[in-house]
Structure 1
């Protein structure tokens, strides 16, 4: 049986389809960073490891190499590239969901009204 956080951070088939539809240009799903239409993966803006939810407001298509740069721990030489990808990712999501707070992209065990 999956834990509640695991369920919340997983990407459902319906959400995956919505992300692919949103990130499609001229009939082709594309990486939101490079525009590549091959080796695509659905990436979390707020990572699953930090409780990032599997919701469209937290997800976008990325080429697997760019996704790896963004997701994985990197050395100092790649930190600027990772930061650049993160800034482009945020700008992209903000273009669709301008008033969506990062707090709502993160799993919380308790509803807002019960959090301290």
Structure 2
């Protein structure tokens, strides 16, 4: 198809054919006829919105936050204590799907293996408890789960 706004595909008795809806033609056409047509008009594409949603922005982790968390966690996975790159400081305690914010109080550092195990492994509950204790150690009594969730204004 050449994106002509008049060209459609129809079927009759389970056989497909091209049809032109242009008022001047309004008939069955060959595919090549549409290509050579002088009356062709192209479909206008809808503009793609460039603005991200507020929740998406609030739950994503900026590079500055990753660096803060990575330094706080001494460049190590909080579970197995292996040295990891700054990109591994991207684990949400409260998951993004549940509105977990991309703030240092909700983020911790974990290697890929431990992160996968914490997200959907057999030891998820135990690893979440370790992560919760780790975050409470740094933020004390100020750290509350309800403050880590995105709230719609």
Taking structure 1 as the reference length, what is the TM-score of the superposition?
Answer: 0.81
The farther-off stretch of 7-16 and 33-42 is 33-42
Q: Which residue in the other structure is 1:35 paired with? A: 81
Q: Distance in 1 between matches of 2:136 and 2:115?
A: 19
Higher relative contact order (CA 8 A, sep 6+): 1
When the two chains are superposed, the root-mean-square deviation of aligned CA atoms in Å is 1.3
5+ unaligned residues in a row in structure 2: which ranges?
Answer: 1-50
Q: Distance in 1 between matches of 2:96 and 2:137?
A: 22
Q: Distance in 1 between matches of 2:113 and 2:53?
A: 30
1:3 to 49, 53, 65: 53
- How far the C-alpha of 1:36 sits from its partner, in A, is 1.0
Greater helix content: 1
5+ unaligned residues in a row in structure 1: which ranges?
Answer: 111-116
Q: Which residue in the other structure is 1:107 paired with? A: 150
Q: Which residue in the other structure is 2:67 paired with? A: 17
Taking structure 2 as the reference length, what is the TM-score of the superposition?
Answer: 0.62
Aligned residues: 100
Whichever of the two has the greater Rg, that structure is 2
